[in-house]
Amino acid sequence: MSGVQRQSRFERSDDVVVMKFGGTSVEDASAIRRLIGIVQSRLGSRPVVVVSALARVTDQLLEAGNAAAAGHLGSALAIVRSIYVRHEQLADSQVDEHGYSALDGELRGEFRELESLLHDLETSRQLDLKSQDHLLGFGECFSSRLVKEALCQAGISAAHVDARSCIVTDARHGQASPVWDVTEQRLQERVSPLLETGRVPVLGGFIASTCDGVPTTLGRGGSDFSAAIVGAALCAARLEIWTDVDGIMTTDPKLCSDARVIRKMSFDEAAQLAHFGTKVLHPATLAPAMRENIPVHVLNSRRPDGEGTEILARAKSGNLVSAITAKRNVAAVEIECAQGVDSELLRSVYAVFDRHSCSVDVMATSLRRMSLLVGSTTALPAIAADLRGVAELRWENHKALVCLVGETIRRHPDVASRVFAAVSDMDVRVFCQGASDRTISFLVEESKVEESVQRLHGIFFPQREPVRDWGGISSAFCQAG
């Protein structure tokens, strides 16, 4: 046990800022140069940098793993070779000969380990979640080493910290949960001393390990969560999520060109939006920030001078509705039981869904029927088999969940009536106000998503200025699935 004294939760490190850069913010030489400039602008504080894998690398690693497990080792190694060449070219553009030599040695070591894993997958012919966690974590290992060396080359005293040695989780591979006490202690022991000596720690997001050192991940998109974990452990003053959009928007600009940036919103509103489809924030990101009351800023690395969106414990926008989100590829599930719906049936149903890792978005019940919305149908046949003899399960595909979020939406019954009037001709189903008091949601056919969102946005966000051309930027509200 180290002698480093843990910081009290009631002592705020007013000058520590945790900065997470997503895949598109480290995707090429221009993006990394922008990252360096942003970090330089924060050197008056004590920045901690968390980076995702380079854009598309995680998908490539998964493709390589599937190829190896299917017996196509040559194809898998070719994919890995292309990933190595990309990192090698980036390194060559960012660092001098001495720095390149050191970085190339580190990357070659990581790639040798990756190739060994692919050989093992070809032998076992199985890519289970444990192996997948090990495989996908390489992307963040590569990018964090590259970014650290690029920062050093720019004159910033940076130090690489292997997140797998700091963020400790349970063994639920694919979407592990932190073991908080151990994680906080290790982060304070390994990151705080670097900050005290004026160095900038650089960690890979998304990756972690069990207490026994077995690699795990926090789930796809988990780099945001990593940054929030680091921020909470260090009692940071601020968490910055750097992405390729100007902030969280009132809706997906691909669905409605009138979408606009939300300047301030509450933790609770942002958490609801993350749950109901927005990909700007990982759904788990806000929990550590909320617990420690750390403001979260969503910012555009391509336009670093922009205001972005600030997420606070309490924020008043003046609007009854803060945002409208749409979640595609939703399945409507009906569970019918002749004996009626009671607490025992609810427990049984949820236990089966949990056992198959099938999360439920919305639930409504009647005397003999439960209506559920889920984001994937993959596990439904197995769930139906497990429930056979207890209840009958049916489902329909190609649905979409449209959700309106607002801090005080439940206190204004007229909002629900206006929503229903706007979409009453669209065969709306499962129309409900959420238990959180901050949501109203309903189910429509996927083909009706664009029209329903445009109607509602026109009602709750009437256009006051010329429509802005968003220039094809990736949307802040992407359909899940």
Give the residue with greater pLDDT, 36 vs 2: 36
The answer to whether residue 180 is domain-embedded is: yes
Q: How far apart are CA 370 and CA 368, in angstroms?
A: 7
**201 and 73 co-located in one domain:** yes
Please check whether residues 221 and 72 belong to one and the same domain: yes
- Tokens 């007229």 map to which residue? 414
Same domain for 341 and 234, yes or no, is no
Q: What is the mean pLDDT of residues 289-299?
A: 94
In the predicted model, what is the mean pLDDT of residues 221-235? 93
Residue 88 and residue 200 share a domain = yes
Q: How confident is the model at residue 317 (pLDDT cuts 50, 70, 90)?
A: low
* 363, 369, 374, 379 alpha-carbon torsion, rounded to 10°: 140
How confident is the model at residue 472, as a pLDDT?
47
CA 394 to chain centre: 30
Report if residue 274 sits inside a domain: no
Q: Would you say residue 216 lies in a domain? A: yes
pLDDT of residue 477: 40
Nearest partner of 276 among 477, 129, 106, 27, judged by Cα: 477
Comparing 3 with 89, the larger pLDDT belongs to 89
| Residue 48 to residue 56: CA distance in whole angstroms | 24
CA–CA dist 333, 374 (Å, integer): 7
Query: Residue 122: what pLDDT?
Result: 97
Per-residue pLDDT at 23 exceeds 80:
yes
Kindly tell me if the per-residue pLDDT of 480 is higher than 60.
Answer: no
Give CA–CA dist 25/52, Å, rounded: 9
- Supply 404's token pair: 């309106």
Tell me the average pLDDT across 268-296. 83
Q: How far apart are CA 451 and CA 458, in angstroms?
A: 11
Residues 206 and 74 in one domain: yes
Same domain, 194 and 45: yes
Domain-located, residue 372: yes
Average pLDDT over residues 151-180: 96
463 residue type, one letter: Q
Residue positions counted in the chain? 481
Give the pLDDT confidence score for residue 393 in this predicted structure.
93
pLDDT over threshold 90, residue 70: yes
Last residue of a domain, one of 243, 260, 294: 243
How far is Cα 420 from Cα 397, in angstroms, rounded to an integer? Answer: 23
Give the pLDDT score at 432. Answer: 65
Residue 383 domain-assigned (yes or no):
yes
Tell me the pLDDT band of 120, cut-offs 50, 70 and 90.
Answer: very high
Residue 64 sits in the same domain as residue 197: yes
Q: What is the mean pLDDT of residues 315-339?
A: 85
State whether 332 and 204 are in the same domain: no
Contact 245, 472 (CB under 8 A): no
User: What's phi and psi for 181, nearest 5 deg?
Assistant: -60, -45
Q: Angle at which helices 73-94 and 138-153 pack, to 10 degrees?
A: 10
pLDDT at 411 over 60: yes
Q: Domain boundary at 243, 269, 294, which?
A: 243
Supply the CATH number for residue 456's domain: 3.30.2130.10
Q: Which of 57-66, 105-114, 290-299, 336-345 has the lowest mean pLDDT?
A: 336-345
Mean of per-residue pLDDT scores for the chain: 88
Residue 320: what pLDDT?
84
User: How many other C-beta atoms lie within 10 A of the C-beta of residue 237?
Assistant: 17
333 with 227, same domain: the answer is no
Identify whether residues 55 and 187 lie together within a single domain: yes
Pair 85, 210 in one domain: yes
Domain encompassing residue 200: 13-243
Q: Residues 29-33: contacts with CB within 8 Å, 24+ apart?
A: 29/90, 29/93, 29/94, 31/301, 32/90, 32/94, 32/146, 32/147, 32/150
Quick one: tokens of 402? 């449209």
Q: Tell me how far apart the alpha carbons of residues 18 and 219 are, in angstroms, rounded to a whole number.
A: 20
Whether residue 317 lies inside any domain: the answer is no
Residue of 303 and 2 predicted with greater confidence = 303
- Is position 307 within any domain? no
pLDDT of residue 345: 86
User: 236: domain CATH number?
Assistant: 3.40.1160.10
List, in sequence order, every residue forming a beta bridge with 444; answer none if it has no partner. 400
pTM (2 decimals)? 0.84
8 Å CB contact between 24 and 243: yes
Domain count, the chain: 2
Among 215, 243, 271, which residue terminates a domain?
243
CA distance 351 to 398: 26
Is the per-residue pLDDT at 10 higher than 70? no
Cα–Cα dist 274/216, whole Å: 22
User: Does one domain contain both 51 and 158?
Assistant: yes
Residue 358: what pLDDT?
A: 87
| pLDDT tens, position by position, 243-281 | 998 999 999 888 998 999 999 998 888 888 887 767 677
In a domain, 121, yes or no: yes
- CB atoms closer than 10 angstroms to residue 126: 9
